[in-house]
Amino acid sequence: MQNIKFVPTEAPKQKPETSKLSFGKSFTDHMFVMEYSPDKGWHDARIVPFANLTLHPASTVLHYGAEIFEGLKAYRTPDGEVQLFRPMDNIERLNDSADRLCLPKLDPEFALEALKTFVATEKSWVPDEFGTSLYLRPFLFGNDETLGVHTIQNAVYMVIACPVGSYYPEGINPVKIMIETDDVRAVRGGTGYAKCGGNYAASNRAGEVAEKKGFSQVLWLDGVERKYIEEVGAMNVMFKIDGVVVTPKLTGSILPGITRRSCIQLLKDKGIPVEERLLSVDELLTALQEGRLEEAWGCGTAAVVSPIGQLSYQGKNYIINNFEIGKTTQDLYDTLTAIQWGTAEDPYGWTVKI
């Protein structure tokens, strides 16, 4: 395994006030970096002061979107220690994304070691209020200095981190979501299941329209028939219909969320049936109109478990559960966050101590 060189910052930053934390605006003192080349493999692993990058103007990432990323959090537990939530799942998904975009993969054991070493370095940046955490953003990009469209030879892997509070300004209060009928995010056979920057760039136009209309995010429909529910911009979705939790199955165009996977397990262990299947927008809205849609929520690392209080489709607004957080949503939020923040036992072995 490579050694990780450490160059400490000479100018430590002032940390933001925990009570005022938002999402992704302030960054810690250091960053993890290493490079890949065909002759050396991954090399020069280092933790260095947080700084701007210098890139060749022809760098592949700037022209052909060769970029993948991850998102996970470090949580401060009641005993003052720090833990990660299912970090190996993020590393494995990063490697799946790398496979899709033909970027070099990481050695999973080393990637975990690097994450842990980086978080240990930035430990003082992990905020200690329940609901706050240190968001980690690993990312990997192609960095060949040529405009030819070729298989990528050179790449960079980095991890940056920011102390965060709620992703949505609403916190755990319900959000409003617009079902998108024009643009599509991804298609089967495309890159929907990979966590690559291009998926988010393709989402921007619909997101901007939704935001202007007062919605937090867009709910995507499948790219072929525009009929089946897929996911929201930064979270997977779950609907409780007639006592059963229905979540879109992983068809290849949806991100296989780690929070989704965790929620499915928690729900099943609570005795709540879960169906991973195709769910059409018609079926969903019929259930809503007939009063059978009991609750809806999104789930993701940044968004945690976030109730959906309103859906809009073709200009009509539909209120879910009186725009209140539902019992199952709240219970799921409480159970998941207790494991993540270490206020309850982790019977699943999901947490990894730093």
Residue 301 found at the interface with ligand PLP (CB under 6 A): yes
Residue 61 found at the interface with ligand COI (CB under 6 A): no
Residue 246 found at the interface with ligand PLP (CB under 6 A): no
State the minimum distance, in angstroms, from the CB of residue 164 to ligand COI. Answer: 10
Pairing of strands 316-319, 41-49: unpaired
Q: What is the DSSP string of 246-272?
A: EEE---SSS---HHHHHHHHHHHHTT-
Q: Which is nearer to ligand PLP, 29 or 180 (CB)?
A: 180
Phi, psi torsion values for 203, nearest 5 degrees: -90, -15
The number of angstroms, rounded, from the C-alpha of 337 to the middle of its chain's C-alpha atoms is: 15
Which of residues 126, 175, 234, 266 is near ligand COI by CB under 6 A? 234
| Total residues at interface with ligand PLP (CB under 6 A) | 12
Residue 236 found at the interface with ligand PLP (CB under 6 A): yes
Q: Which is nearer to ligand COI, 27 or 318 (CB)?
A: 27
State the minimum distance, in angstroms, from the CB of residue 120 to ligand COI. Answer: 21
Contact, 188 vs 248, CB < 8 A? Answer: no
Which of residues 16, 71, 108, 198 is near ligand COI by CB under 6 A? 71
Which of residues 259, 328, 335, 351 is near ligand PLP by CB under 6 A? 259
Pick from 52, 68, 4, 126: nearest CA to 255: 68
Q: What is the DSSP letter of 196?
A: B
Residue 71 found at the interface with ligand PLP (CB under 6 A): yes
Which window, 28-36, 104-112, 253-261, 324-332, contacts ligand PLP (CB under 6 A)? 253-261
SS3 for 80-118 is CCEEEECHHHHHHHHHHHHHHHCCCCCCHHHHHHHHHHH
- The residue ranges that bind ligand COI (CB under 6 A) are 71, 234, 300-302
